[in-house]
């Protein structure tokens, strides 16, 4: 069942009420989560918004609004003057449409040893190269849930820390740069240092599970404001730039993504997921694996070997929940599994999709009962000497009692 659950979590699927279960899990778990001090927090980052500094360009495909390259060039000159050489510059912008100022901007960006930028990928995971060649680039990590299966219930939004070709996203590149460690992927798992992590991450409601959204939105500064302060020699941003470890440049108005907990700008999500990695969320530890196997073993034992104290309860529930030969998972199984989901979140910071687990309980229960019933009917077919025909095959596949002579 653990393997089935892992496979389900690797797929971009969501189910009815998955969003509600995710929110409930977060509300129940957050008060119990540890509040240890992290080496980097929201006070170490400055967000620079380019939404009000766009310019229109035109090519054979049409008109585009892109960040003003001349203003970006000015910004990078300011950053070069006031930031520390170890500051990580994250440029969460696409440079796939050319402009006249690209060469000057490329020269300005190339002076930063810790510059990260973003590249665009299409539906085939093919990368569109940037027209500006500077720094190291990461790909897009947001997944669209439920396409095309169960598209009516697109409520659970996830972030893939690498794409299908194991190309890293910006949060992973930031983590690599900070910790000077290599990161590799294997399917839906990441190998970071000597530890393994789930590749698919549910975007949090609050930054790092502890900082409210309103707090770090105050860190967002318009690009033009920084340029104006430099021109007027006010310099209020100079001290802040020298103290920041991360500078994230992005479009906070147009680059907005749906999440399970509401809409959120992409640059904020990038730092949010970096903090999640810092907290080692979704780490597949030996302790969590043993904990998961223990819980699932208890669940399977209770499901298939009914305890005597619950025998009357199960007999009553089996009579009430028998639908076309299938029996629903008892509600106590739901409670046990959901307790496992919450405990994993509290003690190990591993997010598990609760509705997916409940559905797997149904599938496991139905499959066992169906196969056992078919085996009995197959023995009866052999005993009465029935020939295989359409009517006999129908009885074999769908009858829940016995074969008629």
Tell me the average pLDDT across 376-389. Answer: 65
172-175 — which CB contacts under 8 Å span 24+ positions? Answer: 172/138, 172/277, 173/116, 173/136, 173/138, 174/88, 174/90, 174/116, 174/246, 174/270, 174/274, 175/274, 175/277, 175/278
Task: Write down the H helix ranges in 222-304.
Answer: 223-231, 236-243, 266-278, 286-304
d(CA 159, CA 143): 6
CA 77 → CA 87, 88, 196, 330, 345, distances in Å? Answer: 14, 15, 39, 64, 44
pLDDT at 286: 92
Residue 326's pLDDT band (boundaries 50, 70, 90)? very low
* Residues 308, 167 share a domain: no
Is residue 25 situated within a structural domain?
Answer: no
pLDDT at 248: 93
Read off the pLDDT of residues 195-218 as tens digits, 9 standing for 90 and up. 999 888 777 665 544 455 545 566
Q: Is the pLDDT of residue 403 over 50?
A: no
Tell me the average pLDDT across 121-141. Answer: 78
Final residue of a domain: which of 262, 278, 294?
Answer: 278
Read off the pLDDT of residues 22-66 as tens digits, 9 standing for 90 and up. 778 877 877 776 655 667 777 788 999 998 888 877 665 566 678
Domain enclosing residue 377, as ranges: 286-398
Beta bridge partners of 197: 190, 283
pLDDT at 322: 55
Of residues 396 and 171, the one with the higher pLDDT is 171
Q: What is the mean pLDDT of the chain?
A: 75
* Residues 290, 272 share a domain: no
Final residue of a domain: which of 278, 295, 325?
Answer: 278
* Residues 109, 214 share a domain: yes
Lowest mean pLDDT segment, chosen from 116-120, 273-277, 383-387:
383-387
Is residue 303 situated within a structural domain?
Answer: yes
Number of domains in the chain: 2
* Residues 54, 73 share a domain: yes
Of residues 98 and 369, the one with the higher pLDDT is 98
Residue 151's pLDDT band (boundaries 50, 70, 90)? very low
Read off the pLDDT of residues 330-352 as tens digits, 9 standing for 90 and up. 556 777 778 888 888 888 888 87
Listed residue (186, 182, 164) closest to 173, CA to CA: 182
User: In sequence order, what DSSP letters do the residues of 327-341 get, joined into one string?
Assistant: EPPPHHHHHHHHHHH
**Residue 250: its H or E element:** strand 246-250
Is residue 22 situated within a structural domain?
Answer: no
* Residues 184, 89 share a domain: yes
Judge contact between 199 and 189, C-beta under 8 A: yes
Q: pTM of the entire structure? A: 0.76
pLDDT at 287: 92
* Residues 300, 253 share a domain: no
pLDDT at 116: 94
Of residues 306 and 246, the one with the higher pLDDT is 246
Is residue 19 situated within a structural domain?
Answer: no
Residues composing the chain: 405
Question: Helix 266-278 vs helix 170-179: angle between axes, to the nearest 10 degrees?
Answer: 40
* Residues 331, 215 share a domain: no
* Residues 204, 297 share a domain: no
pLDDT at 23: 77
Read off the pLDDT of residues 248-302 as tens digits, 9 standing for 90 and up. 999 988 888 877 777 788 888 888 888 888 888 889 899 998 998 888 787 777 6
Q: Is the pLDDT of residue 88 over 60?
A: yes
The rounded percent of the chain whose pLDDT value lies above 70 is 63
Is residue 101 situated within a structural domain?
Answer: yes
Of residues 245 and 372, the one with the higher pLDDT is 245
pLDDT at 107: 92
Q: What are phi and psi of 54, to 5 degrees?
A: -105, 155
pLDDT at 164: 76
Final residue of a domain: which of 244, 278, 312?
Answer: 278
* Residues 95, 205 share a domain: yes
Q: Phi/psi zone of residue 11: left (φ > 0), alpha (ψ -120 to 50 degrees), beta?
A: beta
Per-residue DSSP letter, 346: I
pLDDT at 149: 39
* Residues 196, 100 share a domain: yes
């Amino acid at each position: 069942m653990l393997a089935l659950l892992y496979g389900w979590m690797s797929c971009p699927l969501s189910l009815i009420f998955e969003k509600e279960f995710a929110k409930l899990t977060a509300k129940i778990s957050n008060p119990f989560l540890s509040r240890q001090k992290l080496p980097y927090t929201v006070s170490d980052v400055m967000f620079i918004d380019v939404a009000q500094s766009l310019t229109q360009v035109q090519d054979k495909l049409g008109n585009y609004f892109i960040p003003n390259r001349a203003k970006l060039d000015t910004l990078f000159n300011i950053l070069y003057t006031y930031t520390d050489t170890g500051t990580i510059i994250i440029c969460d912008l696409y440079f796939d449409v050319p402009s006249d100022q690209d060469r000057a901007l490329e020269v300005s960006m190339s002076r930063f040893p810790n510059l990260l930028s973003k590249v665009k990928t299409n539906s085939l995971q093919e990368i569109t190269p940037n027209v500006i060649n500077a720094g190291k680039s990461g790909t897009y990590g947001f997944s669209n849930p439920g396409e095309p299966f169960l598209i009516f219930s697109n409520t659970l939004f996830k972030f893939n820390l690498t794409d299908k070709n194991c190309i890293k996203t910006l949060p992973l590149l930031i983590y690599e740069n900070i910790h000077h460690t290599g990161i590799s992927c294997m399917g839906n798992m990441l190998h970071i240092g000597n530890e393994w992590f789930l590749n698919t991450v549910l975007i949090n409601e609050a930054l790092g599970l502890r900082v409210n959204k309103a707090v770090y939105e105050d860190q967002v500064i318009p690009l033009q404001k920084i340029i104006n302060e430099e021109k007027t020699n006010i310099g209020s941003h100079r001290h802040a730039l020298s103290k920041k470890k991360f500078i994230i440049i992005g479009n906070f108005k147009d680059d907005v993504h749906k999440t399970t907990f509401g809409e959120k700008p992409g640059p904020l999500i990038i730092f949010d997921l970096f903090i999640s990695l810092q907290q080692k969320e979704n780490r597949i530890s030996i302790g969590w694996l043993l904990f998961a196997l223990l819980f699932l073993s208890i669940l399977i034992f209770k499901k298939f070997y009914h305890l005597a104290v619950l025998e009357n309860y199960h007999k009553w529930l089996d009579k009430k929940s028998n639908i076309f030969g299938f029996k629903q998972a008892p509600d106590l199984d739901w409670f046990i599994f959901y307790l496992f989901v919450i405990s994993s979140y509290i003690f190990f910071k591993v997010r598990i999709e609760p509705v997916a687990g409940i559905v797997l309980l149904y599938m496991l229960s139905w499959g066992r009962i169906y196969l056992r019933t078919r085996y009995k009917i197959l023995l009866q077919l052999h005993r009465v000497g029935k020939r295989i025909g359409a009517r006999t095959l129908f009885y074999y596949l769908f009858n829940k009692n016995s074969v008629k002579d």
